[in-house]
Amino acid sequence: MTARVLIVAGSDSGGGAGIQADIKTVTMLGGHAMTAITAITAQNTLGVEAVHAIPTEMVTQQMRSVAEDIGVDAVKIGMLGGADNAMAVAEELISGVYGESFVFDPVMIATSGAVLADDRTIAAMEVLAELSTVVTPNLPELAALCGRVNLADDAIEGEAVAYAQKVNAAVLVKGGHGAGETITDRLVTEHGTIALWEAPRIDTRSTHGTGCTLASAIAAGLAQGMPLEPAVARARDFVRLSLLDAPGLGQGHGPMGQQAVRNDGLFTGPALNQITLPASDYAASVAFYKQMGLTQIVDSPDNGYARFEAINGVTLSIHVGDGAAGGATVYLESGALDAWVAYLARRGVRFDQMPADEDWGWREARLTDPAGNRLCLYQAGEYRRYPPWRI
């Protein structure tokens, strides 16, 4: 059954954040997005010009209407438009018809720097946090939730743990507002950090809607039955791919490219995404596949290796080599390689190579089918479409 995600958030007239980003994200991840709009904003890539709150009764009626008919597997809560809405949404969620998976993105400060919540609303957010599975503040928002003006780097984990203990929910501290070229995202519970992700900062001004997209992607994962940590990991990959695929619109902080993210290792099951074929003449094979309309994305004549990409993101490679390198290899991609390999191994599948990190940025396991054909099971995430060696 299709995962049903209810999004309680504000509308972004520029289409970069809020409800618009949420719908695109849930849809691209295979879920069904439903909405309860809390506020209408007049905004573009340069900033928020005006906010008009939706009457509280209308917000809760939107929620109740879809829950009673379609049903809800997870709820994502974003900009609330005021303290009254925050309290009313909390009371509505307690009714028990919205499941148990709530992702709360405490939207207070937009990427542009605009303040989207007053002190009374911030205080009401604590009630929602206490109901949530996970709260996803950026660093300024975490500071505000903890009653601080800002947080030093060495205080982030401690403050996050204290807040997790206070509200009895997991806290995903987003590191995009931190300094330096490495972004650190930290998943914290009352017991401390349970998962930490580090990745290079992506150099782009198209960052509008990153928080909305991340929270909605997590909600989609929870709605699909994923545990919290894998749901966060997949959501992070989706956000980074959306940043890399951003269309470059607007004069300020532009929208991301959720609509361009294809199956880049975001799903747990096998996806046929890559085949490597033997070749004897490198130049002739390269010319042939270019003529077929494929885009060459790797050119390594010294290694006898080239890769091509089709319009839908699927790739095909050619490899000139000796007997060990010859023959076709089929690549099956997964967003949860180790779990998938463990599942297969428990059922008697024998592997020539268990999962291992490779120099080119992928994690791979290898095996042979009953006819002697070679298979590679791999996990690449953002490196499938955007590896460092891509042309």
> What is the pLDDT, as a whole number, of residue 117?
62
Residue 362 identity (one-letter amino acid): W
| Domain presence at residue 162 | yes
- Distance between CA 388 and CA 46 in Å, rounded? 31
> What is the pLDDT, as a whole number, of residue 323?
43
Let me know if 211 is a catalytic residue. Answer: yes
Greatest CA separation for the chain: 71
Nearest CA among 139, 107, 101, 95 for reference residue 19? 107
Give me the catalytic one of 189, 207, 213, 276: 207
| Domain presence at residue 135 | yes
Let me know if 209 is a catalytic residue. Answer: yes
Residues in the chain: 391
Owning domain of residue 103: 4-260
Q: Measured between alpha carbons, how far is residue 32 from residues 2, 29, 35, 285, 303 in Å?
A: 7, 9, 10, 43, 45
pLDDT tens sequence across 117-176: 677 877 888 999 999 999 999 998 998 888 887 788 888 999 999 999 999 999 999 998
Cβ proximity of 315 and 274 under 8 Å: yes
| Domain presence at residue 322 | yes
| Domain presence at residue 388 | no
Give me the catalytic one of 18, 175, 189, 212: 212
Take residue 345 and report the two structure tokens written for it: 């191994």
Give me the catalytic one of 174, 254, 276, 315: 174
Question: How far from the centroid of its chain's Cα atoms is residue 318's Cα?
Answer: 31
CATH code for the domain in which residue 136 is found: 3.40.1190.20
> What is the pLDDT, as a whole number, of residue 154?
83
> What is the pLDDT, as a whole number, of residue 333?
87
| Domain presence at residue 390 | no
Q: Which residues of the chain have pLDDT under 70?
A: 109-117, 263-265, 268, 322-326
Let me know if 212 is a catalytic residue. Answer: yes
> What is the pLDDT, as a whole number, of residue 27?
96
Nearest CA among 382, 388, 331 for reference residue 360? 388
CATH code for the domain in which residue 366 is found: 3.10.180.10
> What is the pLDDT, as a whole number, of residue 324?
47
Give me the catalytic one of 14, 18, 175, 209: 209
| Domain presence at residue 265 | no
> What is the pLDDT, as a whole number, of residue 115?
58
Q: Is the dihedral of CA 105, 29, 247, 331 positive or negative?
A: positive
φ, ψ of residue 246 to 5 degrees: the values are -60, 140
> What is the pLDDT, as a whole number, of residue 384?
77
pLDDT tens sequence across 232-265: 999 999 999 999 999 999 999 999 999 998 766 6
